[in-house]
Amino acid sequence: MSIASNISALQQELQPIGVELVAISKTKPNTDILEAYSAGQRVFGENQVQELVAKYEELPKDIQWHLVGHLQTNKVKYIASFITLIHSVDSLKVLQEINKQALKHDRTIDCLLQIFIADEDTKFGLDHAEVIELLRSEEFAALKNIRIRGLMGIASNTENQKIVKEEFYELKMLFDGIKTTYFRKEDSFNILSMGMSSDYQLAIEQGSNMVRLGSTIFGKRVIKHYKAQ
């Protein structure tokens, strides 16, 4: 299957059920991204700021770029002018920096709060208590140039479907609870980003409306480090 036909098949599967496809293009060359683009894909995600900025500069300007990887405070400035959605906000500190840089560019930056749901300690994210503390804080209330659009989570990397399903279920419950308590009047709190190539169908069953797919579209990633082209 070609990249273009993978995109078409996925869009046919996902569009009718209202699930947004983010094509995760990390480590992949621009030629691959352009093939997906030619098939109509406009939303792409990267996990590293440097690679994201290089691709943003080289590729068509109507691409909507999402950041899905961990964001360090000192790197926010490089993406603040153009980023469409940051999936990986995991502290008040980084949110404050995003707000500051967004203000400089006279814009509002859409963000998701990344929630730690996996049964592993290698993954970033806020736990339940931390996300509630953040949302209730005065510091958060003062941020006017960011908009929280929803939550993101990465499930455990396991063959055990039951565990993955429970983690997605837990995130959906948290999403519903947070929406009711903190965003009742904000229709824009409406994104639940969960599901990757290995588990996106399970994620959709559990209520995901945004999936982040890399290898399903572009094939396996063989190179670990991106080289600027």
Ligand X SMILES: *Cc1c(COP(=O)(O)O)cnc(C)c1O
Binding of ligand X by 213 (CB under 6 A)? yes
Shortest distance in whole angstroms from residue 208 CB to ligand X: 12
Instruction: Give me the amino acid identity at 48.
Output: Q
- Contact letters (x/-) for ligand X, 95-124, by CB under 6 A? ------------------------------
d(CA 18, CA 24): 19
Residue with smaller CB distance to ligand X, 49 or 143? 49
Q: Which of 3, 10, 14, 24 binds ligand X (CB under 6 A)?
A: 24
Dihedral of the CA atoms 166, 216, 14, 190 (nearest 10)? 50
Which residues are 21's β-sheet partners?
A: 211
Q: Which of 39, 69, 97, 155 binds ligand X (CB under 6 A)?
A: 69
Q: Which of 36, 86, 113, 196 binds ligand X (CB under 6 A)?
A: 196
Q: Which of 26, 54, 101, 201 binds ligand X (CB under 6 A)?
A: 26
d(CA 218, CA 99): 33
Q: Are 115 and 125 in contact (CB under 8 A)?
A: yes
Stretch that binds ligand X, among 12-20, 102-110, 115-123, 194-202 (CB under 6 A): 194-202
Residues making up the chain, counted from first to last = 229
Q: Are 152 and 194 in contact (CB under 8 A)?
A: yes
Which residue in the shown chain puts its C-beta closest to ligand X?
214
Residue with smaller CB distance to ligand X, 97 or 199? 199
Q: Which of 76, 189, 214, 226 binds ligand X (CB under 6 A)?
A: 214
Binding of ligand X by 212 (CB under 6 A)? yes
The helix (run of H) or strand (run of E) holding residue 43 is strand 43-46
Q: Are 174 and 136 in contact (CB under 8 A)?
A: no
d(CA 56, CA 76): 15
Shortest distance in whole angstroms from residue 213 CB to ligand X: 5
Residue with smaller CB distance to ligand X, 143 or 202? 202
Shortest distance in whole angstroms from residue 152 CB to ligand X: 8
What secondary structure letter does DSSP report for 126? B
Count, in order, helices (H) and strands (E) of the chain. 10, 8
Site residues for ligand X, window 134-193 (CB under 6 A)?
154
Residue with smaller CB distance to ligand X, 24 or 113? 24
d(CA 18, CA 209): 7
Residue numbers of the site for ligand X (CB under 6 A)?
24, 26, 47, 68-69, 154, 196-198, 212-216
